[in-house]
């Protein structure tokens, strides 16, 4: 367009204090900020004529507005966006992982594990959005408290990967009173598969021989779970 310049986007520093994400967080608290504003703080600065806030909005839009989807995607999915390099993408993923770990700490440390819901509170925040399956063993003491969380395998769950000796080696070393099996389904559907049932049957039988009972097997889905004990499958 002759005689006219394209309007330049204002930088964050040029915005009124009440509209700057970092200052708004200090003045109002993090809970008052939108997800795009929080992402803008993590990204630090904009680029190519866009402010950090506009870049944060682009990151969020690229995941359909879902922080959970950002966490599920590889770092490369963020770096494919213009203006987001490896360092910025890693910062965003680190922040989301911290949030997940904080949620996992919400249960009072040392509280007894009395129900499947207690197990879900301990594990769901870490497992429900993982892109691959992880198989964990929750080692319980005589007071039903979580003594240790052991990750046995990461990948596709089948009976050849989850062998009783791998599961019970650490449980015996910890002098476990009982164990609970926990794994996730990346599909989000916690319905037990045929392999899930075979693995569970093998481990329950091994637990009887070793006098370390398997109290339950919890499959974590996205916002849902299946308890073998509740479903009468043990």
Lowest-confidence pick of 39-43, 93-97, 110-114, 224-228? 110-114
> Which residue has 């892109």 as its token pair?
131
Q: What is the mean pLDDT of residues 160-175?
A: 82
State the pLDDT at residue 97: 86
Residue 108 reports pLDDT greater than 60: no
pLDDT reading at 56 higher than 50? yes
Cα separation, 163 vs 133, in Å, equals: 16
**What average pLDDT does the structure give for the chain?**
85
Task: Tell me which CATH homologous superfamily contains domain 116-227.
Answer: Cytidine Deaminase, domain 2 (3.40.140.10)
Mean pLDDT, range 46-66, rounded to an integer: 84
User: What is the reported pTM?
Assistant: 0.62
Q: What tokens appear for 146 in the block?
A: 């979580």
pLDDT at 129 over 90: no
Domain boundary assignment for the chain:
12-104, 116-227
Alpha-carbon distance 33 to 199, whole Å?
A: 45
Provide CB contacts within 8 A for 167, sequence distance 6+.
137, 152, 179, 181, 203, 206
pLDDT at 53: 86
Q: Are the beta carbons of 67 and 96 closer than 8 angstroms?
A: yes
């Amino acid at each position: 367009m002759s005689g006219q310049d394209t309007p330049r986007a204002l930088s964050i520093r040029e915005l009124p204090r009440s509209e700057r994400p970092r200052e708004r967080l200090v003045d109002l608290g993090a809970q008052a900020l939108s997800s795009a504003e929080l992402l803008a703080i993590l990204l630090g600065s904009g680029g190519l004529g866009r402010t950090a806030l506009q870049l944060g909005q682009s990151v969020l839009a690229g995941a359909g507005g879902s922080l959970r989807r950002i966490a599920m995607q590889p770092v490369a999915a963020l770096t494919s966006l213009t203006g987001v390099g490896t360092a910025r993408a890693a910062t965003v993923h680190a922040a989301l992982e911290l949030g997940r770990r904080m949620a996992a700490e919400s249960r009072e440390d040392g509280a007894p594990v009395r129900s499947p819901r207690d197990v879900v509170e301990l594990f769901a925040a870490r497992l429900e959005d993982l892109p691959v399956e992880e198989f964990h063993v929750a080692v319980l003491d005589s007071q039903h408290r979580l003594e240790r969380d052991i990750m046995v395998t990461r990948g596709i769950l089948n009976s050849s990967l989850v062998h009783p000796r791998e599961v019970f080696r650490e449980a015996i070393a910890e002098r476990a009173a009982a164990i609970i099996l926990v794994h996730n389904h990346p599909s989000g559907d916690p319905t037990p598969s045929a392999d899930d049932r075979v693995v569970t049957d093998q481990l329950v039988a091994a637990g009887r021989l070793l006098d370390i009972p398997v109290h339950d097997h919890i499959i974590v889905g996205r916002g849902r779970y299946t308890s073998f004990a509740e479903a009468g499958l043990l």
